[in-house]
Structure 1
Amino acid sequence: MTRNQKVVVSIGWLTLVVVVLLLVVMIIAQTWRYTEAGKVPLKTGVILHAVNEQLLPEGLSTPSFFVNPVAPTIKRVDHILETSDGEHIAMRLYTPTQPGPHPVILYFHGGAFMEGYGNIDTHDNILRALANRTNAIIVAPNYRLAPNYSFPTAINDSFDALEWVYEEAVELEVDREKVAVAGDSAGGNIAAAVVMKANEAGYSLTSGAFLYPLTTFEDVSFPSRDSYSSGYYFLSRSVMERARDAYTPNEEDWINPYVSPLLSEELSEFPESLVITAEFDPLRDEGEAFAEQLYHAGNLVEAVRFNGTMHGFLSFYEVMGRADYALSYVARFLNNSFEGNETTQKQPFYVKKEDKGDSFQDEVEAYGMSMYLLWQKMVRLAQ
């Protein structure tokens, strides 16, 4: 056999090995789609597997060749807020570089009401993205958390932030006629409570975005709580129960409307609202029930379920096309509300199902992530 023939044979074998390895990766990645509660989209399955196996790299983001760089349009400023009880909390502002006045969105981060589960740093990517996509000022209070601070401290801190926005509107270049609230998970619960307190205080909010919110602390048997509360979908029943015990140690508080807005009989004065839910989320059904309660109380409300997603999915908008689409959906709703364009449903009530399939980019990235995860597993085994 000549030298050239040997080279050709070597290249052929190498190509065959690479093809086989790729096929193995693709087959394994496909198996990750089959979860305990059913089949999920490829990208969702890979991310769920990565997080549950603690294999997700820090700072994960979309590869740079998929991204069009843009000039910064916001500045981030940290502020200390004195609360109504004389304490101090951190607060972060994301402000457009253009002159105002600007709309303002008070955003309340999720994290089970407890230390160690969420803060303004863990939600920085969502806050930056909302600021960029709405050209609004984002005000994000780092409200105090359980177990050191139980109900109603988090709500009082968050409402103090709202009052501060109105008081400092001129200096902040805020349009007082365009003030919205938003929050995810526990933050969605707090956002609902802040709306109720704002109504009592005479403030008129423009809109509210409640993202996979916890809406009742009672032991209600929702199908989604039963199907997706193992923890594989990023929120477990045990965490919810631990959060309830830490945030509301007094059981009588569980039916307080500020804790369980689903039980409130004072929902008629809510602003135009958007309620986002995720298909594979224990909080899905109570979020949609809350949206229906808002509707029957006479409010303009839009309820949207993003299929193929799990609890907390918006945090993955940089690597998950469905999440990026959902975040743009939220931003578009808020922009329309600031511009006075009503887009929410009138009648009858229904939950809109958004099922944006994985794009080619999502598929490619999912297989690329799978290769990385398998490599990480091999490294672990070798150690």
Structure 2
Amino acid sequence: MSTNVLPLSKPVPADSSLRLVPDVPDFVVGPGLSPEVADVVTLIGGSATAGRNLAETRRIFTQVRRALGPTVPDIASIREEVINTPAGKLNLRLYRPSFGFRPLPALLFFHGGGWTVGDLDSHDTLCRQLAIATGHVIVAVDYRLAPENPWPAPIEDGWEALRWLSNYAPLLAIDPLAIGVAGDSAGGNIAAVLALKARDEGGPALKGQVLIYPCTDLSASLPSHFAHADGYLLTRKQYLAYVANYLAGQDVEQDWRVSPLRAARFDGLPPTVIITAGFDPLLDEGRAYAGRLAAAGVPVIHRSYADMVHGFITMGGRLPAANRAIADIGRALASHDIYAFSDGGGI
């Protein structure tokens, strides 16, 4: 067993004039934001604009997320795993919050970044926070990215990771009856698709899903996509570019494996926690998904952060609401009693 503790991020100076990315001509901040959120939007606005070298865009995305995160918390162990899949090697990172006499529940986690940017390092601090707040082992997946690997490559990687985790859970001191999926943004899309797929294929059985401002309908047609199209960090132009990377010209927007909001039915899905942001183009997608699940009888806890923007949960060094949201996820899982002691799980 190998353990790798990553270096701590450097804190971001309080100077609001600090720029983490190159200036973007004619960049504006949308109205209605609080000063602290407007400051963050100004600070990193344009970090994912189209036209920059893709490798540089990816580097900046990870740098920004690590820089704006809170002080990196210590955790019991971090373990790197490499698994074999039909597509090749797949890297995973396991965050264990504690050691004890009983197996822990786990969340298979997929990072955001429009299926195009993001990696294990961009969401390292968030995964540590989630492990501590929930008492779960967080298993982060370094899935293949678009445009080099468009749909369905990330779904295929996610499915292989889920099957591996289900099969090898006992060897990892993880309760195989207490596994859930989680992700933010594009990662929330992958998690939601996997939950539907697992239901339809008779397993692996999931005990919960945590969807953080998830992409659930890639048509980008709901009102929030237009109301928050510019000035709120994720722009409509950026989002559509991400979707284009992911789909690579495939006419599959109506397919539930791309847009889980388009699924024919939502019954039989695991208890769900959904986080949304009030100034997010994806706000209405998260709301709609929560509504569909609730209408199908699925236990849902939806927490909306009315003054936040897309991506906020990785920015707890500047936005206290991010840290509250992580704590709320832990409380929501507990209130669902998803990982009940009666079945060998436990939080």
Question: TM-score, structure 1 length as denominator?
Answer: 0.72
Equivalent position of 2:211 in the other structure = 210
In structure 2, give the amino acid aligned to 1:43. Answer: E
- Kept after mapping to 2: 8 A contact 1:273/1:302: yes
Q: Which residues in structure 2 correspond to 1:92-131 (within 5 Å)?
A: 92-99=93-100, 100-114=102-116, 117-131=117-131
Per the TM alignment, residue 214 of structure 1 is displaced from its structure 2 partner at its CA by: 0.8
Alpha-carbon deviations, 1:222-273, whole Å to 9, x = none? 221112122x322121222222222112442111101011111131111111
- Cα distance change of structure 1 residues 79 and 299 upon mapping to structure 2, 3 Å threshold: same
Alpha-carbon deviations, 1:138-168, whole Å to 9, x = none? 1111010111111111011011111111111
What is the SS of the residue equivalent to 2:234? coil
Equivalent position of 1:40 in the other structure = 33
Distance 2:183 2:46 in 1: 28
In structure 2, give the amino acid aligned to 1:78. Answer: E
Distance 1:282 1:131 in 2: 28
In structure 1, give the amino acid aligned to 2:37. Answer: T
- Kept after mapping to 1: 8 A contact 2:66/2:123: no
Distance 1:53 1:167 in 2: 42
In structure 1, give the amino acid aligned to 2:79. Answer: V
Equivalent position of 1:303 in the other structure = 302
Q: Which residues in structure 2 correspond to 1:1-383 (within 5 Å)?
A: 36-52=29-45, 59-60=67-68, 72-83=74-85, 85-99=86-100, 100-114=102-116, 117-203=117-203, 204-220=205-221, 222-230=222-230, 232-336=231-335, 337-340=337-340
In structure 1, give the amino acid aligned to 2:114. Answer: A
- Cα distance change of structure 1 residues 146 and 60 upon mapping to structure 2, 3 Å threshold: closer
Report the number of matched residues. 297
What is the SS of the residue equivalent to 2:67? coil
In structure 2, give the amino acid aligned to 1:96. Answer: P
In structure 2, give the amino acid aligned to 1:77. Answer: R
What is the SS of the residue equivalent to 1:247? helix
- Kept after mapping to 1: 8 A contact 2:83/2:90: yes
- Kept after mapping to 2: 8 A contact 1:74/1:131: no
Distance 1:143 1:91 in 2: 9
Per the TM alignment, residue 340 of structure 1 is displaced from its structure 2 partner at its CA by: 3.6
- Cα distance change of structure 1 residues 149 and 324 upon mapping to structure 2, 3 Å threshold: same
- Kept after mapping to 1: 8 A contact 2:40/2:318: no
Equivalent position of 2:56 in the other structure = none
Per the TM alignment, residue 216 of structure 1 is displaced from its structure 2 partner at its CA by: 0.8
- Cα distance change of structure 1 residues 244 and 199 upon mapping to structure 2, 3 Å threshold: same
* RMSD between aligned residues: 2.4
- Kept after mapping to 2: 8 A contact 1:74/1:132: no
- Cα distance change of structure 1 residues 37 and 47 upon mapping to structure 2, 3 Å threshold: closer
Say which structure, 1 or 2, has more relative contact order (CA 8 Å, 6+ apart).
2
- Cα distance change of structure 1 residues 151 and 53 upon mapping to structure 2, 3 Å threshold: closer
Unaligned runs of 5+ in 1: 1-24, 26-34, 342-383
Distance 2:153 2:198 in 1: 16
Distance 1:171 1:36 in 2: 49
Per the TM alignment, residue 40 of structure 1 is displaced from its structure 2 partner at its CA by: 1.7
Distance 1:61 1:315 in 2: 6
What is the SS of the residue equivalent to 2:331? helix
Alpha-carbon deviations, 1:25-65, whole Å to 9, x = none? 9xxxxxxxxx75422222112212222287x7973566x8x
- Kept after mapping to 1: 8 A contact 2:30/2:232: no
Unaligned runs of 5+ in 2: 1-15, 17-27, 48-63, 342-347
Distance 1:57 1:338 in 2: 30
Per the TM alignment, residue 79 of structure 1 is displaced from its structure 2 partner at its CA by: 1.1
- Cα distance change of structure 1 residues 107 and 53 upon mapping to structure 2, 3 Å threshold: closer
- Cα distance change of structure 1 residues 243 and 199 upon mapping to structure 2, 3 Å threshold: same
Distance 1:58 1:107 in 2: 17
In structure 1, give the amino acid aligned to 2:201. Answer: A
- Cα distance change of structure 1 residues 49 and 95 upon mapping to structure 2, 3 Å threshold: same
- Kept after mapping to 2: 8 A contact 1:199/1:269: yes
Per the TM alignment, residue 322 of structure 1 is displaced from its structure 2 partner at its CA by: 1.2
Distance 1:107 1:87 in 2: 20
What is the SS of the residue equivalent to 2:333? helix
Query: Which structure shows the bigger proportion of residues in helix conformation?
Result: 1
